[in-house]
Amino acid sequence: MLLTEIIAKLGGKLVGADINVNSIKSLDLAAPGEITFISESKFLPKIKSSQASAVIIKEEFISDITIPAIVVADPFLYYAQVSQIFNPILQLERKISSSAKIDISCKIGNNCAISDNVVIGKNVVIGDNTQIYPNVVINDNVIIGNNVTLFANISIYSKVMIGNNTVVHAGVVIGADGFGYAPDKKGVRHKIPQVGGVKIGNNVEIGANTTIDGGTFSPTIIEDGVVIDNLVQIAHNVTIGSHTAIAANTGIAGSTKIGKFCIIAGHAGIGDHVNICDYAVVGGLTGVGRDITKPGLYTSSYPFNEFKEHAKIAIRLKSLNDMFLRIKALEDKYNKYFGDNNGQ
Minimal distance, residue 68 CB to a second copy, in Å: 21
Q: Give the three-class secondary structure for 64.
A: helix
Q: Which is nearer to a second copy, 16 or 96 (CB)?
A: 96
Residue 30, amino acid: A
Q: Give the three-class secondary structure for 88.
A: coil
DSSP state letters, 211-277: EEEEBSSS-EEE-TT-EE-TT-EE-TT-EE-TT-EE-TT-EE-TT-EE-TT-EE-TT-EE-TT-EE-
Minimal distance, residue 38 CB to a second copy, in Å: 14
Q: Which is nearer to a second copy, 37 or 130 (CB)?
A: 37
Q: What span, in angstroms and rounded, lies between the C-alpha atoms of 344 and 336?
A: 15
Minimal distance, residue 17 CB to a second copy, in Å: 25
Residue 263, amino acid: I
Question: Could you tell me which residues are beta bridge partners of residue 125?
Answer: 107, 143
Minimal distance, residue 53 CB to a second copy, in Å: 16
Q: Which is nearer to a second copy, 63 or 308 (CB)?
A: 308
* Region label for 289, one of left (φ > 0), alpha (ψ between -120 and 50) or beta (otherwise): alpha
Q: What span, in angstroms and rounded, lies between the C-alpha atoms of 214 and 176?
A: 6
Minimal distance, residue 92 CB to a second copy, in Å: 9
The residue from 169, 190, 236, 243 that is catalytic is 236
Q: Which is nearer to a second copy, 111 or 230 (CB)?
A: 230
Q: What span, in angstroms and rounded, lies between the C-alpha atoms of 182 and 236?
A: 15
Examine the residue annotation and report whether 236 is marked as an active-site residue of this protein. yes
Q: Which is nearer to a second copy, 66 or 101 (CB)?
A: 101
Catalytically active residues are 236
